[in-house]
Amino acid sequence: MKPRRFIAYTARTLRSFLYLTLLWSFTTNNASAQSDQVTVIKADKVIIGDGTTMNSVSLVVIGDRISEVGPSASIEIPLGANVIDLSNHTVLPGLMDMHTHINSSDHDGGDMSVLREHGAHGAIYGVVNAEKTLQAGFTTIRNAGALHYADVALRDLITQEVVPGPRMYVAAASLGITGGHSDVNGWSPLIDIPGTGMVVDGPDNLRKAVRTLVKFGADHIKIVATGGILSSGDAVDHPQYSDEELRAVVEEAGRLGRKVIAHAHGAEGLKAAVRAGVASIEHGSLIDDEGIELMKEKGAFIVPTLLILDEIIEFGEERGIPDYSIQKAIEMSGLREIAMKKAYQKGVRFAFGTDASGDLHGRNAQEFKVMIKTLGATPMQVIQNATSDAAELLGILDQVGTLEPGKWADLIAVPGNPLDDITLLEKVSFVMKAGKIYKHVDN
Ligand SMILES: [Zn+2]
């Protein structure tokens, strides 16, 4: 054989060998998927997640997916199935928190925490907080910013089952203006203090920042559209980015298949962000009538994060939150109650979110009773805000958010009926994520 033909022959042989190896590994993987564990969960009541309920139900889970949901009387239990009896319990889709800071420390301290802690602290806190969050029945979270890509790493290691935790969708870092909510202000210009997010100004720099965040693993982009509570030197009702900058971020993120979420308290910054095309407004505290109409028109969501503001006012001092932050929270509180209730009642889409940070991790479900009280919502509505509505906001409603055949087996159980007493969601006794049981206690 001539050398050139020999090389061609070797290449062909190598190619067929590789192909056969691939085919073999594919079929063996498929074989193991077919022999996946079958679990049957029997419950008195099921809240589907789409506003409907069913009584005396069996759910069949094969591998990581739900395969059947129906009346226990009509469902045949497959041979060798692991049967879990959850009588006197209500089963519902795994809860979803659309605004967490999973890598934050348990002793908050506000924006000053960046002087003491960095990404390595965040990585370790993240492992602890992720487990607390999952044990509390939250099987999915959308993280709204961390330091040094700690949330990207945590997301990946949870996916690889190195550590337990919820499914994570991460922002990596927030984008904010010089002197704004993502910056640390009020210190000497001679000290170089890192921001609590990425401090970036100007459309071109923002485009590069979006590309950089996506390059290193961001699932969505978080932008800071107004001042915030935990920052000094800015006001909650002042817009921060220009229209041009907001548009650049949404356009660049959209090109890369990413949604943009915008922190906004004040009405002007909120409206500018919605006009630019963000998917959700985080907080939304001072939304006005024009903002309500605009959000409805665009189908944008509010992620309300109500509980944390009440807690900053009540416990901020003992948790080391600076006085300027506590004062901002007090000043905004009354107006916020009126504005948020109006937005909810007038039909703006809402998705559940807590801003979990400090010691709020694992107490996420306490937000439900505050939502009912502040927004005038029903228990069924707030459960939908934390399941199907949240899944729709994330763009994964075809995979999760309701208990239907074919979807990921992410489900939880609580004793009694949370439609009668929403605080039962704070007493989760069973947690399954992707068909795997992470919690099962008697209560
Ligand atoms: Zn936040």
List the chain domain ranges: 1-35, 38-94+404-440, 95-394
Find the farthest-apart pair of alpha carbons in the chain and give their distance in angstroms, rounded.
Answer: 87
- Which tens digit of pLDDT belongs to each residue from 19-72? 444 444 443 443 333 458 999 999 999 999 999 999 999 999 999 999 999 999
Give the pLDDT of residue 110. Answer: 64
pLDDT above 70 (res 18):
no
The residue among 175, 267, 288 whose CA lies nearest residue 221 is 175
CA of 269 to the centre of ligand 1 (A): 16
User: Model pTM?
Assistant: 0.91
Q: What is the pLDDT of residue 28?
A: 40
Residue 138 CA to ligand 1 center (angstroms) comes to 17
Q: How many angstroms separate the alpha carbon of residue 120 from the centre of ligand 1?
A: 20
Residue 144 CA to ligand 1 center (angstroms) comes to: 6
Q: What average pLDDT score do residues 100-116 get?
A: 79
pLDDT tens digits for range 294-325: 999 999 999 999 999 999 999 888 888 888 88
Q: Is 68 exposed, middle or buried (0-12, 13-18, 19+ CB in 10 A)?
A: middle
Yes or no: say if 302 and 347 are a contact pair by the CB < 8 Å rule: no
pLDDT band at 107 (very low <50, low <70, confident <90, very high): low
Which tens digit of pLDDT belongs to each residue from 231-261?
Answer: 888 888 899 999 999 999 999 999 999 999 9
Q: Is the pLDDT of residue 5 over 80?
A: no
What is the C-alpha separation between 27 and 41, in angstroms, rounded?
30
> Of how many residues is the chain composed?
443
| CATH T-level assignment (fold) for domain 38-94+404-440 | Urease, subunit C; domain 1 (2.30.40)
Helix axis angle for 367-375 and 323-345, nearest 10°, is 60
pLDDT at 344 over 90: yes
> Where residue 108 falls among pLDDT bands split at 50, 70, 90?
low
Q: What is the separation of C-alpha 370 from the centre of its chain, rounded to a whole number of angstroms?
A: 19
Q: Give 100 Cα–ligand 1 centroid separation in angstroms.
A: 6
Q: What's the pLDDT at 115?
A: 82
Give the mean pLDDT of the chain.
Answer: 91
Name which residue leads in pLDDT, 340 or 10. Answer: 340
Between these two residues, 376 and 28, which has the higher pLDDT value? Answer: 376
Alpha carbon of 42 to ligand 1 centroid (Å): 38
Provide CATH code, domain 95-394. 3.20.20.140
Give the distance (Å) from ligand 1 centre to CA of residue 16.
52
